[in-house]
Amino acid sequence: MPEGPELHLASHYVNTVCAGLLFSGKVEKSAVSKNPEVPFESNTYVISATPRGKEVKLTLMPVKEEESLPLAEESSTAGQDPDSPPQPMDVVFRFGMSGSFKLVPEAELPKHAHLRFYTRESPRRILCFVDFRRFGRWEVQGTWQPDRGPCVMLEYEKFRENVLKNLSDKAFDKPICEALLNQKFFNGIGNYLRAEILYRLRIPPFEKARTVLEALQHREQDPALTLSKKVKLKRENPDLLELCHSLPMEVFHLGGKGYDPESSDDFTAFQQWLRCYYVPGMKSLRDGNGRTIWFQGEPGPMAPKGKKSRKKHSRGKADSDAPSSKETKPPSKRSSKGSSSHEEPQGTKKHGRKKKELIQGAENSPANGPKKRHARARRKGSACQDSPETKAPAEGKTRSRRRAAAYKSTEVAAGGSRKRQARTDGPVTTVIPLSSL
């Protein structure tokens, strides 16, 4: 997420690439952006940028074609005359998660260019606000947000005074890692800066903010020291508020950090500058706002209860020590059942087409044998094999069924023979011997 240094780098980029450029026409907004339209149009105008904390202000200034000079005085007194030149306009930007400015040829317009300023030259170029996540916002005729404090980079003395005079504020009841993200007091500090500041001072991230900052109220230097010695002491032993100013300035002086499309070394320099944020070997926890804080050592007394810190491992070490992806794949429920000490009985029914396809090899193996019996017979067989307590009753039922079947077949056979005998025998005749007459 862009923080104070990134907003200042964006402002520096706009002022550098737009120096001497003339813009013309309407300001266009993309159809998908939910930000407001920018109702500005001029035959010729120039663009300049001013940063403050986590905000950047673009000033659109109309100029005369003959003189190519700003019309600040004429525009301010133009009134309602339709023939008067357009008035200057300020547009305040807040970058969200992924905002940035780019100057590109018209034929190479980025996909997520949501606000576009066209140059007057031919072929035209476009200064565009690019934001692929669309969390960035702009405000037409906007001003600096009133609930943001002095900028940690450009207004250091006011920033320091604003913090030390308001330590009774409830914002400082929270852990220092959460207080550092409060833009009312730390305008320009974000997630990676707070981790680097606390790490370099060896301050636990979940120490109470007021406890950490109250010690700075009583910090005094020997008045007998010369100015050069005072500056040297500050550089060698900076306090938290001084690092809130000096570390963002260090990042700013690293270079473009992605704002110069033709440079690929800027982000590498930034990664080498980081000592704690997302660095292998560091721990991490989520604070009360759900943001991840990186640190080393103990988290502090206000750390979330019941949450264990996660340790960042280096990618190279993990790749060398860990087996291949196939070996580290967690076993599924089917494989865990098959690999347990209780083996699956032969012929057990597999439900679902996908299941049958996944375990087809296992079913056709010699250990299991081919499936030949019907589903009902398999269920009965598996039930008998899975539960040894019910094996004897099952065998008894089988014997009784066999006896009943044999008895039934015997009765049927006997009845059939009697019927056949009745059909073949004729009427009964009695023979009386002659001797008995």
- Which residues are marked as active site? 2-3, 54
φ and ψ at residue 214, rounded to 5 degrees: -65, -30
Q: What is the DSSP letter of 20?
A: T
Quick one: 129 exposed, middle or buried, by C-beta within 10 A (0-12, 13-18, 19+)?
buried
Q: Helix 266-273 to helix 240-254 angle, to the nearest 10 degrees? A: 150
d(CA 287, CA 145): 25
- The neighbour count for residue 392, using CB atoms within 10 Å, is 9
Residue 240: which of 218, 220, 217, 213 has the closest Cα?
213
d(CA 286, CA 300): 13
d(CA 133, CA 77): 40
Q: Is 50 helix (H, G, I), strand (E, B) or coil?
A: strand
Q: Are 181 and 175 in contact (CB under 8 A)?
A: no
d(CA 384, CA 392): 9
Q: Residues with Cβ < 8 Å from 356, sequence gap 6 or more?
A: 350, 363
* N residues, the chain: 437
Q: What is each CA distance from 39 to 28, 29, 86, 89, 115, in whole angstroms?
A: 9, 10, 11, 9, 12
Give, for 392, the enclosing helix (H) or strand (E): helix 391-424
Structure tokens at 282: 């560091």
Residues β-bridged to residue 29 = 115
Q: How many helices (H) and strands (E) does the chain have?
A: 16, 12
- The neighbour count for residue 302, using CB atoms within 10 Å, is 21
φ and ψ at residue 33, rounded to 5 degrees: -70, 140
Q: Are 114 and 35 in contact (CB under 8 A)?
A: yes
